[in-house]
Amino acid sequence: MCFKNLPIAFDEQGNAYLKEDIANPYEYKVVDLGQEQDKLHSLMEKNGYIKNVDYDPVTRVAGALAFHSVVDLKEKKVLSTNSMATLFRGYEIILKGRDPRDAAYISSRACGVCGGVHATTSALAIEMALGIKPPPLGIVMRNILLAIEYLYDHPLHLFLLAGPDYSEELVAATNPELISKAASAKCKNKNVHGYDTILDIMKDLNPLKGKLYLEALSMTRVAREAYVQIGGKYPHPQSVVPGGISVTVTMTTLNEVYTRLIKFFDYGQKTTGIWDDVFDFFYEQDERYQQCGVRPATMADTGVWDRPDFYDASFENCDKWGEARWSTPGILVDGEVVTTKLSELNAGLEEFVEHSYYEKWQDHKFLTDDKGLPLSPNHPWNKDTIPKPGKQSWRDRYSWDTCPTWDRLPMEAGAYSRMYLTAKAQKAPASKYLENTGHSMIIHVPKYNLPAADLEWKIPTHWNAFERNRARAYCIPYSAMVALENWEIAQQLIRNGETAVSTPFEIPQKGLYKGFGAWGAGRGFLTHHLIVENGLIQNYQILTPSTFNAAPRTPWGAPGPYEEAVMNTPILEKFDTPENYKGIDILRAIRSFDPCMPCTTHIMAKDTNHVVTREVTTCACGIE
Amino acid sequence: MELNKKTLIGTVGYHILGNHSMPPMMYLHLNEMSWPDHVKVDELNWGPVAVVQMMEAESPPFEKVIILCAIERKGRKIGQIDVFRWLGKLPDEEQIQACVGDAATGVISVENLLVIGEYFKIWKDEVYLVDVEPGPEVAGEKWTESMESSIPDVISTIKRLALTGMDDGIDIKYLQGDTLFTNKIVTD
């Protein structure tokens, strides 16, 4: 019984049904956010230390995110938060009425980093809708491609976007007392990364000049070089199609990939060693850092990397092939696994727009899925995207992001969720390089220049900003080992003469078909929900990790993950006057989620209904 | 004046944005034109960081870079062609970081390319922008007539910059990194 809040129950045979005797089963309470605002205004009038602290835009994130907070600088507490996606995207509108074969290419443009996962998720949605099963090599090469995409994305986050928050330059400006301590703090993992003291690491985390910053830039090149062997180009691959991939794969292709992939064996060891040392240092200096960005480990993940002997694209078998993935799909509520079934993950999804610039839709076209699981009118298959630009108000609507929930709970998403769920659930089939213990994931990294090592990522006690980043570091060797295992399978398939990489298909010109693609982005959870009617896309809905993470309040007033994480963040920065306050603790909390607003948000031309595609990947636009 | 400098003609811009997409659409045409061996044409939309890495690996380096772009600027008519020479200089470090962050997360921007290229010292001697006014942004694959009629001049300007000396009768304006994001154009 995974649903506690939605009116879905299961009989003794495990068949789902809508609870009876409830007049309006999907009803929910809408609270007035104005009361909270009135209280805050009254506090601000009485207390000069309570200030509005606005970050607009939040820098070193992908895209247009603004964040409003009310902070008591005397008590060093955050009193209120609002996360704002400041642009409209509109892919849902762009894709309506198009040939489904366009979807992978167009939706890929939703992001300038994770175009490959959007293309793949789109392909998966079409495969499910139309019953297209790719051949084994197509599945395996897709796994490798997307593992490599993560190998581009993780260093980027760790060293270019979030990393500078822990650099000598920023720490000296916000907590100078830590610098002298860092100078004498010895690194535990010097044998893998070569740094003697924490300050040595911090110096190389300095943006633009630090060796670790520059090394990350060069590692993104290594990942791109491997990626284009399969994808043709980066970030928007040309070869991801429903039914597999459209590129011939030979031993040469695999060798070209391998010579790049092995560089991540050592880099994975080095990166995990660095971040373990840095974050342990912060905890040792002040245990209140454990509260930075803390929130319950309540997370959703789609799982990724299909097993060629399980994946058949069907909705009917999605629970089986989902659980067979190298990373397990599912839901965690307060650190406990609630489900690992893709069908239940799908059925629990809803999107709300009470605090977003959209109109509520009226239809409830799909009452159940094909297994009979009841679907809410707010489920993505039932959703209609109706933009309604308006005035920004903390009392009412303040974001272009919607509010997605699972079983009416705000969910966090991240690459780390995939690691957490997989380690905790212990559902993933046996792997040569990965071991899930229920409390950790052990990653067996082979020798390259460094000796082979067993890296262990442990489920942390507190789910906070530091642990998000630490887990992200472990996602580098995790992704590299999945890529390696798939590379070995690909080699074997080619040796066996199983060289087909795609399955031909036709778009039926009559009838209604629905499917959803579920595949994690570099930043976690990603679904594309698709309805094809008479040969054309009738509805297309994209739910990205940052749609979850950047969400505004639920209609019943629960904060979105960024909002909650920042609310729980203690102000540990040292400052003399409010004017000197830089807000580093809040920024660490937000950046630990690796916000990606191009995926999340939307843009349309001012004063029109005209959807503009350009800014979708520009990330650099102001608020209209 | 040294001729036959190793030259790169690059195009930068988003697709399917009407006049704003003139540069990437012109890439195919420019690439099919006959150029001497020292001139190469490439699309530079694939990210300033990747362009830096490509330029760093290029030996010998490009001595002259000509970038075709279409940036909306105040006070210009659609199709108006301006040639800017990049004078270098950098904005503050926070701005450079923002440029790198945008670049690594997929932004296509000439300004980012110039600044990141400057920071990583890939620009050697001459860097020019051939910048054609696109007017307001609209979605679509078509250009307006004014843009269409500017194309012969765009091509001849690029040819003159690529094949002859830098000041060969072309009215040159100047851009530099420390004023780039305040929209200041240095008028010499």
Q: What is the CB neighbour count within 10 angstroms for residue A282?
A: 23
Q: Which domain holds residue B148?
A: 7-180
Instruction: Tell me whether residue A592 is in a domain.
Output: yes
pLDDT value at residue B168 = 66
Question: Which of A208, A233, A620 lies nearest to residue B93, judging by beta carbons?
Answer: A208
B54 interface with A at CB cutoff 8 Å: no
Instruction: Tell me whether residue B188 is in a domain.
Output: no
Q: Collect all residues of chain A within an 8 Å Cβ-Cβ radius of residue B53.
A: 217-218, 221
Question: Which of B46, B53, B98 lies nearest to residue A59, judging by beta carbons?
Answer: B98
Average pLDDT, chain B: 90
Q: How many domains does chain B have?
A: 1
Per the CB < 8 Å rule, is B104 touching A217? yes
Which helix (H) or strand (E) segment holds residue A299: the answer is strand A299-301
Q: How many domains does chain A have?
A: 1
The DSSP letter of residue A287 is: G
Question: Which of A160, A235, A598 lies nearest to residue B101, judging by beta carbons?
Answer: A160
Instruction: Tell me whether residue B187 is in a domain.
Output: no
pLDDT tens-digit series, residues A426-462: 999 999 999 999 999 999 999 999 999 999 999 999 9
Per the CB < 8 Å rule, is B107 touching A619? yes
Per the CB < 8 Å rule, is A113 touching B14? no
Instruction: Give the list of residues 6+ apart from residue B21 with CB closer than 8 angstroms, or none.
Output: B13, B14, B15, B70, B141
Report phi then psi at A445, rounded to 5: -95, 125
The DSSP letter of residue B143 is: P
Nearest to B77 by CA among B135, B154, B19: B135
Kindly state the percentage of chain A with pLDDT values over 70. 95
Report phi then psi at B9, rounded to 5: -105, 120
- Pairing verdict, β A349-352 and A8-10: unpaired
The distance of A223 to chain B (nearest Cα, Å) reads 11
Interface test with A, best of B105, B119, B137 (most A CBs within 10 A): B105
A161 interface with B at CB cutoff 8 Å: yes
The stretch A59-74 carries a mean pLDDT of 79
Return the exposure string of A293-325: e unless at least 16 CB atoms fall within 10 Å of the residue's CB, then b: bbbbbbbbbbbbbbbbeebbbbbeebbebbbbb
B94 interface with A at CB cutoff 8 Å: yes
Tokens of B100: 């790198």
Nearest to B154 by CA among B26, B41, B25, B43: B26
* DSSP letter for each residue of A362-401: -----SB-TT--B--TTSGGG----B------TTS--BSS
Instruction: Tell me whether residue A31 is in a domain.
Output: no
The CATH number covering residue A263 comes to 1.10.645.10
Q: Collect all residues of chain A within an 8 Å Cβ-Cβ radius of residue B108.
A: 617-618
Of all residues in chain B, the one with the smallest CA distance to A596 is B105
A618 interface with B at CB cutoff 8 Å: yes
Instruction: Tell me whether residue A30 is in a domain.
Output: no
B101 interface with A at CB cutoff 8 Å: yes
Instruction: Tell me whether residue A32 is in a domain.
Output: no
Tokens of A122: 């789109």
Instruction: Tell me whether residue A573 is in a domain.
Output: yes
pLDDT tens-digit series, residues A130-186: 999 999 999 999 999 999 999 999 999 999 999 999 999 999 999 999 999 999 999
Question: Which of A59, A208, A613 lies nearest to residue B16, judging by beta carbons?
Answer: A613
pLDDT tens-digit series, residues B10-61: 999 988 889 999 999 999 999 999 999 999 999 998 889 999 999 999 999 9
Whether ipTM exceeds 0.90: no
Q: Which domain holds residue A605?
A: 51-617
B17 interface with A at CB cutoff 8 Å: yes
Interface test with B, best of A614, A615, A617 (most B CBs within 10 A): A614
Cis peptide before B152 (omega within 30 of 0): no
pLDDT band at A375; cut points 50, 70, 90: very high
Instruction: Tell me whether residue B39 is in a domain.
Output: yes
> Cβ distance B58 to B10 under 8 Å?
no
A16 interface with B at CB cutoff 8 Å: no
Q: Angle of helix A136-155 relative to helix A263-285, nearest 10 degrees? A: 40
Instruction: Tell me whether residue A10 is in a domain.
Output: no
The DSSP letter of residue A158 is: I
Report phi then psi at A416, rounded to 5: -65, -30
The distance of B184 to chain A (nearest Cα, Å) reads 19
Of all residues in chain A, the one with the smallest CA distance to B107 is A618
Inter-chain CB pairs, A–B, below 8 Å: 85
Helical H segments across chain B, by residue range: 22-32, 48-57, 93-104, 110-119, 145-163, 177-180
The CATH number covering residue B53 comes to 3.40.50.1450
Of A423 and A85, the structure prediction assigns the larger pLDDT to: A423
Task: Residue count of chain B, please give it.
Answer: 188
pLDDT tens-digit series, residues A267-297: 999 999 999 999 999 999 999 999 999 999 9
Instruction: Tell me whether residue A63 is in a domain.
Output: yes
pLDDT value at residue A42 = 87
* Pairwise CA distance, residues B83 & B69, whole Å: 10
3-state secondary structure of B114: helix
pTM of the entire predicted model: 0.90
Per the CB < 8 Å rule, is A160 touching B14? no
Cis peptide before A57 (omega within 30 of 0): yes
Nearest to B30 by CA among B46, B41, B18: B41
* Pairwise CA distance, residues A538 & B9, whole Å: 43
> Cβ distance B142 to B85 under 8 Å?
no
A299-301: strand order across its sheet: A299-301, A330-333, A336-339
Tell me the sheet residues that pair with A518: A527
Question: Which of B20, B97, B119 lies nearest to residue A614, judging by beta carbons?
Answer: B20
pLDDT tens-digit series, residues B147-160: 999 999 999 999 99
Of all residues in chain B, the one with the smallest CA distance to A221 is B50
Enumerate helices (H) and strands (E) in chain B, giving the number of each. 6, 6
Q: Above 80 in pLDDT, residue A609?
A: no
* Pairwise CA distance, residues B157 & B85, whole Å: 13
